[in-house]
Chain A
Amino acid sequence: MTNSNRRDFLKTSAIFGTGLMIGNPFSITANPLKAADKINIAVVGCGGRGGGMIFSNIPKIPSANLVAVCDIVESRRERAKNNFEQQYGGKVNAYEDFYEMMEKEKLDAIAMATPDFWHMRHAVDALEAGIPVYCEKAMSNNIADARKMAEAQKRTGVLLQIGRQRRSNDRYRFTKEILLEQEQMFGRLTHAIGQWNRSRIWTQRPSKRDNLDLATVQKYGFETIDQVYNWRNYTKLGGGVVSDLGSHQIDIFNWFVDSFPKTVYATGNNSYFGLEQADTMATILEYDTPKGPAIGIYENISNSRAIGVYERFIGDDGAFVISEGKDNQIYRESRVPSKRWQKYIDAGYLANLADMAEYKEKESGDSGIKETAPQISYDIKDMAGMDKVYNMNSHTAHLYNFVESVRGEETLNYDAIESYKSEVCIYKIHEAINAGGGRIEIDPSEYEV
């Protein structure tokens, strides 16, 4: 903040009502996050996701020091550099070429948000050079390259975290670790259902300030300017709708039911937008889970966003909807007595009555309610019992987990070997779609690296 901005701000903002004030209270200035040794990090790819890393995630991670950005679009990398320096201070160098950046900068870590087809080469070269990598999903646009990345992690022992951020989302971690594993609250999960509904395929055009020429583009594996902005629509550059969207959610199926599919049935097509990649797909996944058989049902919709993005799990003692959006609710199966779930409320895990229980007149016999009371569902309340609650949005938390792992303070929540297993079933789904629909069996050994 500039001095003049700060003066104006303090002048007009001394107090707000009674309880919200400007200031940094003396008693809690110590930062609970260990920030003694900052790591120097570079972000490769300054588009939508890279911009999120630069402006929304890294500034919240005290132990991360952004030193460089890299993008083949000059205006995009210069804008990222200049805006970051203006908002957060420090010195950021901007590069067009990844390898020039590797050579010139003393990097402790690299975060990659580039098109899928670049992931393998950049990630493997960085790991071979001893530099840990945070790589946005999907690992690659083909399973062979994804496997090379997992093998490189195994061979070098250098950290490679893949960006499926729900793995570091506090509520997803709480659901997995406490509600599903520790409390076995939902009994045996029999169904996992998920959808990603969006209204259109992202097609971007260069802005008037972008100054990208064809010769530069072709130097980096693109054939046209359009491929730079809309690489997701090309099979040789991206992994398609199942990789982009479905892999986030199918990975959660696998994580929550504690297994990987033994068969996938899938069908899909590109009939709606007519681009190279499928825009519409549906798949059925069959699992043999430790508790018995389970079925996953998953859909990507690209012509309507009305129903949103969510995962839904059905167990014999309860069900839940979970998402990174508005849809989050927990339901007790009717035959499970409410007293049995009271312990979860008492433990602070769940809230019911829209978290209004403290305002109910518990002693009065007549509730006074003259209308039909609503169906009781539950919400996650306090994430009690967790070793660690990040209290960050999942994108920041996932990158924070990576940075702290590089510093030796944590272990990765989602390394390349774990991620590869979900990529296997994603590419089996692709295989089925590309074959015009069908059922494919997956041998358990195919998941191993």
Chain B
Amino acid sequence: METYRYEHAAMATEFVLTIKNEEEDYANNACQQVFDLVDNLENRLSRFIADSDISRINRMKAGEQMALDFETWEIIRKSIDISALSYGTFDIGVAKHMDVFRAAKQGILTEFEMTNALAKVQEQKQNARLFVDPDKPMIYCVEPGMYFDLGAIGKGYALDQVKKLMLDLEIETYSISAGESTIHFENDHTVLPFWTYPISSKTKQKTLELSNVTVSASGTYFQGNHIFDPRKGSNDFLPEFDRVWVAATDAGYSDAFSTAFFLLSIEEIEQIVAENEKIIWMAYSKDGTLNFVP
């Protein structure tokens, strides 16, 4: 069986699409459509693109309202759901906090100024009032001060959209990876029984056999201690885990919860996994061990 592999830089990472059991021409065509879709989503959802929906939301003033793309509306609503389910540990309203950290790294703000700026930004966020319409793709700003960054869910959401496109193209066996932090596996069992996916701690390694599921990973090894606690608006949280994996039927969920779980206890995580049918399992590495929930 031929396998076709494609790479594409987008969303500040590398997407890799692998297609099996299709004509080469058809796979090439699908690849173009998939990466075009990802680029299109980035243009709408990245806060670093001045014309995106998210950039324009971040510029809204008191009393303003804005029509959204359907996808923007959908991802914000999904983010609200996940925030509620994760006790506020997942939060898209932290763009200004990220800007403050970046300004400090660039030397624009001193450490003293950064600390004060974070306190002000957190206060502004707590006083902000943004409303998302439940019936139509609209957002309303009563009081600005909360600024969106979809970095912790955007790639997962993009994979959910890719899934819809591949369904439309009737391609049944493929995987797509967004920077290896979120990977969706889809397979026709008669073509490929399962995809393999290795996970490891410092001393253990395990190869998983996966079908029709998305797995997201988050950790402190590659990106340093990047876990920011949106509940406090500070980055002094020391994670309990070295690495977290979340498998879900919804790629947005796996992406978002892989970050959110870093800030929760095992008991809280077990409860969320047990109560949420979209999350199939989570795993974490701690002190060299690999552990699964459930």
Contacts and interface: CB of A to CB of B under 8 A. Distances in A.
- Of B68, B127, B142, chain A has the most CB atoms within 10 Å of the CB of B142
B91 A17 contact: yes
B93 A17 contact: yes
Contacts of A325: 43, 49
A392 B108 contact: no
Contact of A204 (B32, B111, B132, B134): B32
Interface in A1-44: 1, 6, 9-10, 12-25, 27-28, 31-32
A122 interface: no
Contact of A20 (B43, B63, B132): B132
Contact of B169 (A31, A87, A171, A207): A207
A90 interface: no
A25 B129 CA distance: 10
Contacts of A396: 67
Interface stretch (A53-61, A125-133, A148-156, A270-278): A53-61
Interface string A153-181: 00000000000000001010000000000
Contact of A393 (B36, B53, B103, B137): B53
B85 A12 contact: yes
Nearest to B116: A359
A14 B131 CA distance: 11
Contacts of B102: 354
A394 interface: yes
Contacts of A346: none
Contacts of A393: 44, 51-53, 56
Interface string B109-138: 111111011001000011111111111011
Contact of A10 (B46, B64, B134): B134
Indicate the size class of the contact surface on chain A: 35 or more
B81 A21 contact: no
B99 A354 contact: yes
B203 interface: no
Nearest to A169: B51
Given A6-B134, A355-B99, A373-B108, A326 B85 contact: no
Indicate the size class of the contact surface on chain B: 35 or more
Given A27-B142, A87-B70, A326-B49, A372 B107 contact: yes
A28 B32 contact: no
Contacts of A6: 134-135
A13 B108 contact: no
A158 to B, nearest CB: 28
A27 to B, nearest CB: 7
B140 A356 contact: no
A324 interface: yes
Contacts of B88: 16-17
Contacts of B75: none
Contacts of B65: 28, 31-32
Interface stretch (A100-108, A336-344, A363-371): A363-371
Interface of B: 25-26, 28-29, 32-33, 36, 43-44, 46, 48-53, 56, 59, 63-70, 76-77, 79-81, 83-85, 88, 91-93, 99-100, 102-103, 106-114, 116-117, 120, 125-135, 137-138, 140, 142-143, 145-146, 168-170, 230
21 contacts: A10-B134, A17-B146, A18-B126, A18-B128, A20-B93, A20-B128, A21-B80, A22-B134, A24-B133, A24-B138, A48-B36, A202-B32, A205-B25, A325-B49, A354-B102, A359-B100, A361-B112, A368-B113, A382-B59, A391-B64, A393-B53
Can you list the 7 inter-chain pairs with the closest CB atoms, starting with the nearest? A368-B110, A19-B128, A359-B117, A60-B67, A205-B29, A16-B80, A356-B103
Interface of A: 1, 6, 9-10, 12-25, 27-28, 31-32, 48, 55-56, 59-60, 62, 87, 169, 171, 200, 202-205, 207-209, 324-326, 328, 353-356, 359-361, 367-369, 371-374, 380, 382, 391-394, 396
